[in-house]
Homo-oligomer: A and B are copies of this chain.
Amino acid sequence: MFQEATYQQRRTKLKNDIKKGIILLLGNEESSMNYKDNLYPFRQDSSFLYFTGLNRPGLALLIDPEQGTEILFGDELTVEDIVWMGPQTPLRDEAAQAGLLTVQPSKALDAAIQKIQSGKRALHFLPPYRPETALKISAYLQLPTTAIAAQASVPLIKAIVAQRSVKSAEEVAEITKAVNTTAAMQLAAMQQARAGITEAALAGILQGLAVSAGGNLSFPTILTVNGQYLHNHYSDSILQPGQTVLCDCGAATAMQYAGDMTRTFPVDQQFSTRQKEIYNIVLHSYQQAVAALKPGRLFKDIHLLACAALTEGLQQIGLMKGDIQESVAAGAHTLFFPCGLGHMLGLDTHDMENLGEAYVGYTDNLKQSTEFGLKSLRLGRTLEAGFVVTVEPGLYFTPQLIDAWKQEKKLASFINYDKLEAYRQAGGTRIEEDFLITPDGYQLLGDPLPITAEGIETIRQAI
């Protein structure tokens, strides 16, 4: 936990932003795997964690901005619980460490909400992403679970996004810790990969490191020789000479701040000529994008700048042609880069994604595009000092997409489909790092990890 003042200041700001009505922040419950008592690792709701620091299941916080009151609902362990689970800091003491001085038993929440409802006061709550949370709100509001999301409070979402978007120095320190563990995972992948090992075997080593560092994975590891499939995770496929491995992984600290990095490296000690050619196009795009990070810049423009750099590189190796700006405007690069340049990073890997990309990555005046490619850009809005963002361009050669486009001769004035045939098996290449936006520009988070093709080959050759 951070200092008491941190949580108090966050809640005070929230109360100042939401002047009317009552704020209900629901913590998460345990999640069952294959029977009730076999549990997934507990993951607290990030906004609940942000305002309370309390990382245990079964809690709820009711804030009345008009009266200034804050009530935490949750239960103390019984003596029998302690016999089975071991002694824990009493909830009341831990809550006090976050400045929450009023604690009531869980069962009192229902009556408290009924009172609000009967008083016709607005209840501000966040859109649920877990079924049990939807069920709770459904019971409070007497509405079907499917109708809950539409009733979520836009003012509350906006107020929380405004606060969580700008990271404090202590948050940046936590994210940096996560990034350093993530870099250690990446280094382990590059050092321990070899022909004959499975993707899963490598992914397991990485997960072990995240847990060993006191936290867990921040998201399911992507570690695959088929990196062109963006949401491919890992399998029992055996690494083969001549392949490249795309590894996108992240550690979360015990406080749940996340890291998120990607490296792409050869199973052999060196990239092939073609692999290095592609790698260097992605690296150049990455460098162009990073150099543009600055408060006041639209992240959407930096994304398009990275797309232009990818297009330029693909033109140089003969896969694309035509005017670069026209090509980018037409979205020709989306055949190779169908996704976005990056996203916010914080307590969530895709920070605040459950609050809605429309509020987190866009604004009332800048709406998310619905076009292929741009629709997958999670962050478009103007950068501000204190934002933490990822930069992660890539090139993906997806046979199914190439075939579909080629068949309809899509954007054929920008794409050399004939030359592309030789690249059908070129897989996926991505580079990703995490950055703090500073008043003057940007700062790479964490200790630098080799990022050039040559730097990666040096690691591969040392094994």
Contact = CB atoms under 8 A, between A and B. Distances in A.
B231 A348 contact: no
A36 B129 contact: yes
Contact of A85 (B82, B200, B231): B231
Contacts of A84: 229-231
Contacts of A349: 38
B135 A38 contact: no
A400 B82 contact: yes
Nearest to A218: B38
Interface in A36-64: 36-41, 43-46
Interface in A204-258: 204-214, 219-220, 226, 229-232, 236, 254, 256
Nearest to A339: B84
Contacts of A85: 229, 231-232
A348 B39 CA distance: 12
B35 A40 contact: no
Nearest to A45: B34
A201 interface: yes
Interface string A76-120: 000100111111000000000000000000000000000000000
A34 B354 contact: yes
Contacts of A35: 129, 348, 350, 352-354
A83 B38 CA distance: 34
B36 A353 contact: yes
Given A131-B132, A208-B204, A220-B39, A83 B34 contact: no
Contact of A87 (B79, B338, B400): B400
Interface residues of A, number: 66
A84 B224 CA distance: 13
Contacts of A173: none
A353 B33 CA distance: 12
A145 interface: yes
Contact of A204 (B210, B220, B254): B210
B43 A33 contact: yes
A55 to B, nearest CB: 12
A40 B231 CA distance: 14
A32 B135 CA distance: 15
Nearest to A130: B32
A278 to B, nearest CB: 19
B83 A398 contact: yes
A223 B354 CA distance: 33
Interface in A333-363: 338, 347-350, 352-354
Given A31-B31, A220-B41, A400-B87, A36 B211 contact: no
A15 to B, nearest CB: 24
Contacts of A231: 84-86
A143 interface: no
Given A83-B338, A86-B229, A231-B84, A350 B38 contact: yes
Contacts of A264: none
Contact of A37 (B34, B202, B353, B400): B353
A414 B348 CA distance: 55
Given A83-B229, A229-B84, A348 B34 contact: yes
Contacts of A37: 350, 353
Contacts of A206: 208
Nearest to A229: B86
Contacts of A236: 214, 254
A131 B139 CA distance: 14
Given A32-B129, A219-B38, A203 B211 contact: yes
A401 interface: yes
Nearest to A188: B208
Interface of A: 31-41, 43-46, 79, 82-87, 129-132, 135, 145, 198, 200-214, 219-220, 226, 229-232, 236, 254, 256, 338, 347-350, 352-354, 398, 400-401, 404
Given A83-B229, A87-B400, A131-B135, 19 more contacts: A32-B130, A34-B45, A34-B354, A35-B353, A35-B354, A36-B129, A37-B353, A41-B220, A79-B400, A83-B338, A83-B401, A84-B231, A198-B214, A200-B211, A202-B212, A204-B209, A204-B211, A204-B212, A205-B212
